Amino acid sequence: MSYFSEIPTITYEGPASDNPYAFKFYNPDEVIGGKTMKEHLRFGVAYWHTFTEDLSDPFGAGTAERPWNHLSGLDLAKARVEAAFEFFEKLGVPYFCFHDVDIAPEGETLRESNKNQDVIVGMIKEYMKDSDTKLLWNTVNNFSHPRFVHGAASANNADVFAYAAAKVKKGLEVGKELGAENYVFWGGREGYETLLNTDMKLELDNLGRFFHMAVDYAKEIGFNAQFLIEPKPKEPTSHQYDFDVASGYAFLQHYDLQDHFKFNIEANHATLAGHTFEHELRYARIHGMLGSVDANQGHPLLGWDTDEFPSDLYATTLAMYEILKNGGLGRGGLNFDAKVRRGSFEKEDLVLAHILGMDSFAAGLKVAQKLIDDGVMDNVVEDRYASFNEGIGKSIVDGTADLRSLEEYALGLDGIQTRSGRLESIKATINRYLLQAYAGE
Ligand code: XLS
Ligand code: NI
Ligand code: NI
């Protein structure tokens, strides 16, 4: 059965093309800075938003018109697998990602849920044999079902902790079975609503214990995926423990987990935390903790996780800048944790949205590489911090300065010269690079 037969295979036609079913900037084989675009970008499709999502919101029912909507149970799950692999091929996306409950229906019992999963995992494995698309990461949904109302690994109820642990155990087995490159932990309800009824210390300690158990089990079964924590400051709980990269990194270090994890950074989560996307990427990068990216964007006027497909070229450029400076994403990738708007309910929109996202990051990659090649920001930064390369600055950086030597130096200063940061000029330069990157093509 074909679900996207009317849609052509999407190929690169270049920026001058007005064919909506073509890439304008994503040219998979084009070499940028020594690697192909495909190798740099490692795009992934989020199964939940593209095949499971019905586009409901807190105020209204689902609107998604999907050719598999008439089915239910395992038949529905199987149809989605067929549709997914057809979709991956049409777009030429190298990866996909899923939660356990995205791919298979939950049963009455854990045993039954696992059985359903086995059926669909077996089917996915068969499809993967004939496909170039691999599993970027899998995870388990330990937040939707009412049993997780008070959290999963940070729940107040030990039975819930055990249930969540059992689901992760299965998730690790599934990841191994399908050759996942990474395994993600997003703490869906790992946080709290109010401190009035919360033992924060026990919850955090339990979260630490939970992650250690996962690390140990993965090792035991020989599942060598990269483990990723996905920070998010709030939603659904008012305070999520993995608030942002900085707090997540402190958590990992406190519980001696820092060598086993990196971060999966989502753009919309960064903005919810009051950061820019590039701030989170930078913070992770300079600590050697940048693992993977959930590529989306939030709405500037809305304070929640709207998970829009990325279209802001300024943001994708600055994100790709950090990724290139990181030396790439390694085993990670750019997973479109993004959904079409509720008003974009036709199945064609799924394809068009991915074209938008892939083109936006491809353009960002090209501009970012040019900015790096020309040293645009590097030159500014080098010049701006030049005082630390010699004299008193050098003594601070190399650790030979102390308060006494600095006082002596400061007492001898005859005024301090500070210089402009030239922010507006740098922004003007970036605009010029953005507009010129595709001039004449
Ligand atoms: C929700 C998260 C979620 C994770 C995977 O906000 O982004 O989709 O990526 O559980
Ligand atoms: Ni995400
Ligand atoms: Ni999110």
- Rounded to an integer, the average pLDDT of 367-395 is 97
- Which ligand 1 atom minimizes the distance to the CA of 48? 8
Minimum-distance ligand 1 atom for the alpha carbon of 264: 9
Calpha distance 323→316 (Å, rounded) = 10
Going by pLDDT thresholds of 50, 70 and 90, the confidence category of residue 251 is very high
β-partners of residue 229 are 185, 263
Question: Residues with Cβ < 8 Å from 236, sequence gap 6 or more?
Answer: 143, 188, 189
Protein residue with its CA nearest to atom 5 in ligand 1: 186
Q: Taking 90 as the threshold, does the pLDDT of residue 1 lie above it?
A: no
Q: What share of the chain is helix, strand, coil (3-state, %, to 5)?
A: 50, 10, 40
Catalytic residue among 100, 102, 307, 337: 102
State the pLDDT at residue 35: 98
Q: Which residues line ligand 1 (CB under 6 A)?
A: 99, 139, 184, 186, 230, 232, 266, 294, 305, 337
Which residue's CA is the nearest one to ligand 1's atom 4? 186
CA distance 86 to 151: 36
Higher pLDDT, 10 or 303: 10
Cα–Cα dist 107/85, whole Å: 25
Ligand 1 atom 3: the closest Cα is on which residue? Answer: 186
Distance 268 CA to ligand 3 centre (A): 6
Q: Is the pLDDT of residue 214 over 80?
A: yes
**Residue 99 appears among annotated catalytic residues:** yes
> Quick one: pLDDT at residue 140?
98
Considering the candidates 40, 49, 99, 354, report the single residue annotated as catalytic: 99
Q: Which residue has the tokens 């990474």?
A: 182
Q: For 63-98, how does the pLDDT look when each residue is reduced to its tens digit (9 = 90+)?
A: 999 999 999 999 999 999 999 999 999 999 999 999
Q: What is the pLDDT of residue 3?
A: 98
Q: Which of 143, 232, 265 to mutate for ligand 1's pocket (most ligand atoms within 8 Å of CB)?
A: 232
* Residue 292 phi, psi (nearest 5): -160, 175
Mean pLDDT, rounded, for 45-62: 97
Report the pLDDT value the prediction gives residue 440, as an integer from 0 to 100. Answer: 72
- Let me know if 296 is exposed, middle or buried by CB neighbors in 10 A (0-12, 13-18, 19+): buried
Strand pairing report for 182-186 and 239-240 = unpaired
Tell me whether residue 340 is exposed, middle or buried, using C-beta atoms within 10 angstroms of its C-beta: 0 to 12, 13 to 18, 19 or more: buried
Please give the sequence-ordered ranges of beta strands (E in DSSP) within 78-118, or none if there are none.
95-99
CA of residue 99 to ligand 1 center, whole Å: 9
Structure tokens at 203: 């919850």
**For the residues 297-310, what does the mean pLDDT come to?**
95
- Measured in Å, residue 155 CA sits from the centre of ligand 3 at 21
**Which atom of ligand 1 approaches the CA of 186 most closely?**
10
Sorting pLDDT into bands at 50, 70 and 90, what band is 246? very high
User: What is d(CA 334, CA 187) in angstroms, rounded to the nearest whole number?
Assistant: 20
Locate 185 and state its tokens.
Answer: 């932990």
Active site residue 242: no
Q: How far is the CA of 99 from the centre of ligand 3 (A)?
A: 13
Alpha helices in 179-331 (DSSP H): 200-221, 245-254, 267-272, 277-286, 313-325
Helix (H, G, I), strand (E, B) or coil at 110: helix
**What is the pLDDT averaged over residues 364-376?**
98
User: What digits encode the pLDDT tens for the residues 159-204?
Assistant: 999 999 999 999 999 999 999 999 999 999 999 999 999 999 999 9
pLDDT-based confidence at residue 222 (cuts at 50, 70, 90) = very high
Q: Which ligand is nearest to the CA of 265?
A: 2
CB-based contacts of 180, cutoff 8 Å, min separation 6: 135, 136, 137, 138, 174, 223, 225
CA of 337 to the centre of ligand 2 (A): 5
- Cα–Cα distance measured from residue 271 to residue 265, given in angstroms and rounded to the nearest whole number: 11
- Residue 55 has which token pair? 């586009």
320: pLDDT confidence band, cut at 50, 70 and 90? very high
